[in-house]
Structure 1
Amino acid sequence: MASMVSKELGLNPVLAYDVVSGCTGFLHTLISAISVMKNLKLDSMLIIASEVLSSHIDFSDRDTAILFGDGAGALLIKRIPSDNVILASDFGTDVKKAEDLIIDNLTGNVIKMNGREIFRFAVRTLGKSILKVLQEADISIDELDYFIPHQSNARILASVNREMKIPEEKIISYIGSYGNTASASIPIAIDKAAKEGKLKNGDKILLSGYGAGLSWSSLLIEWRTGEEEKSCILESVFQGYSE
């Protein structure tokens, strides 16, 4: 897919590769991209997260159908003299729970989810991961400028925040507008926040998410903005239901 997109964009990159990691795909790719740029001395990389989850939804299953939307977002990152863009990170996978969230190829290629277990996993894991990242960076929640979580489920985010007590004005969420767009949710949220003028150079931003695998990832980054900002939203739409 990365090669085909590069061709359509008229690019001839040194590397074009795919990362398949469900809802944590964007964060895993961001970690990978920054590492690759540093080690191979590349100047820039384009990360695209795209999901068409409507093609994997059983609309008779309201446990999944009402949650997921289609969307895509892109982020262009450039190497800078300082390598301290990622201030701290935490990520992992609990493979014992891999079958709790899958696309079931045997029964129609649709999303199958153990909702209760996913809820417990997300609340338990995100809280621990966020604390670990803040401790590694030696900063408090008061010093955090913004928290941009994977836009998964408002109840999960509320449960995590009851424990973390992150001020509401520091939480960037657009789940009410777009639903769960999986790996595209964080770049879409970044774009919306940038358009609204929220993100400033030097801001400490915590990106955190969880998903298939079951995997999780949290990154504390220092936001850097180029001279010219462009929208990273390609398209986003909530499928299947109307008011």
Structure 2
Amino acid sequence: MKAQGAGIAIAGSGSATPAQILDNHDLSQMVETSDEWIRSRTGIGRRHLAAASSSLSELAAKASQGAIAMAGLSACDLDLIVLATSTPDDLYGSACQVQSLLGATKAVAFDLTAACSGFVFGLITASQFIRTGVYHNVLVIGADVNSRWLDWSDRSTCVLFGDGAGAVVCQAIENGDRLLGFEMHSDGTQNGSLNLAYRGEPKILKEDIAIASGTYQPISMNGREVYRFAVEKVPEVIEKALYRANLAVEEIDWLILHQANQRIMDAVASRLKIPSEKVISNLAEYGNTSAASIPIALDEAVRQGKIQPGDTIVTSGFGAGLTWGAAIFQWGK
């Protein structure tokens, strides 16, 4: 255990996406849409979809292995695993399955559900365990398989989502703190704008006892409201996180937003006066992978050599709940 007051460093990243690819042309054969319609409104060209035989836990474990290796650790070195997901294999949680697949025998594991804000919320949660000296090595995973919960006849949602997983290893360090600032918010009054809701029908057990028997319905979204919410709230939450970090916008090296819609990302960058060359986007290839979108984009940029040790990165997640948050960190030790 570290002494109380330890800092946090993000020491490794990894990502994994399914091999199956559904492009916009394929979708145009399924619903009334076109490549031009999808690209012009979202920026998405393709999405990777999990096979029927695959699991979220396997996808999350594969991404985690890359992050653990980059950090120079083994799975046995992990103290804690935080799995940010809204689409677990098991409704009781899938983090323990990931722990087993990795062989992380020392690590406690739990799921965190905050939809597309999940990775940012998970990173902030992990930092608190490290800063208080409780844990030394924490694996944070963002993973979702939203293809399981789409209505493939609803063009307002089926064109948007893809599947994937991304992970980072957070470590305790003595020399400073690489997590520079963060901010989180929730507003349950807007839950109806984006949800994956349970719907049950009454089932009579006996004369005076009735329960609900049903299942979860496909993803439902009011795209216009979500767009309005994101364009207003994301710049605001980033500005608050920058204030907490005592940083100016000009000191940002990279902006990695939740990959939901290119128009949202462009609008946020414009409002913050962040030039497009500092905005990392892989939306065209993967679509909206929910909690996985930020860590997948981060991992790709690191492995491509874009992001270098010491670079200052602003991340912001936003989505169902409604939830939104931002975290600012320097990459590497």
Residue 85 of structure 1 corresponds to: 178
Query: Secondary structure, in 3 states, of the residue corresponding to 1:79?
Result: strand
Larger relative contact order (Cα-Cα within 8 Å, sequence gap ≥ 6): 1
Residue 123 of structure 2 corresponds to: 30
Say whether 1:73 aligns with 2:181. Answer: no
Matched-pair contact (CA < 8 Å) for 2:119–2:317 = no
Rounded Cα–Cα distance in structure 1 between residues aligned with 2:195 and 2:281: 25
CA displacement 1:160-219 (0-9 Å, x = unmatched)? 222112111111110011000000001100111001101122111101110111010101
Rounded Cα–Cα distance in structure 2 between residues aligned with 1:148 and 1:54: 23
Say whether 1:149 aligns with 2:257. Answer: yes
Query: RMSD value over aligned CA atoms?
Result: 1.5
Residue 45 of structure 1 corresponds to: 138
Say whether 1:116 aligns with 2:224. Answer: yes
Instruction: Select 2:297's aligned residue among 166, 189, 193.
Output: 189
Residues 212 and 206 (structure 1), Cα distance of their counterparts in 2 relative to 1, 3 Å cut: same
Instruction: Select 2:152's aligned residue among 44, 53, 59.
Output: 59
**Aligned-pair distance for 1:83?**
5.0
**Aligned-pair distance for 1:14?**
4.0
Matched-pair contact (CA < 8 Å) for 1:91–1:129 = yes
Matching residue's letter, 1:81: E
Structure with a larger share of its residues in strand? 2
Instruction: Select 2:197's aligned residue among 104, 109, 121.
Output: 104
CA displacement 1:126-178 (0-9 Å, x = unmatched)? 01111122222232222111111111101111122221121111111100110
Rounded Cα–Cα distance in structure 2 between residues aligned with 1:136 and 1:20: 25
Rounded Cα–Cα distance in structure 2 between residues aligned with 1:5 and 1:108: 24
How much identity, in percent, do the aligned residues show? 40
Runs of 4+ deviating beyond 3 Å: none
Larger Rg: 1 or 2?
Answer: 2
If the length of structure 1 is used for normalisation, what is the TM-score? 0.88
- Describe how 1:164-175 pairs up with structure 2 within 5 A: 164-175=272-283
Say whether 1:223 aligns with 2:331. Answer: yes
Rounded Cα–Cα distance in structure 2 between residues aligned with 1:151 and 1:13: 33
Rounded Cα–Cα distance in structure 2 between residues aligned with 1:211 and 1:50: 15
If the length of structure 2 is used for normalisation, what is the TM-score? 0.65
Rounded Cα–Cα distance in structure 2 between residues aligned with 1:30 and 1:98: 23
- Unmatched tracts of structure 1, length 5 or more: 226-243
**Aligned-pair distance for 1:4?**
1.4
**Aligned-pair distance for 1:40?**
4.2
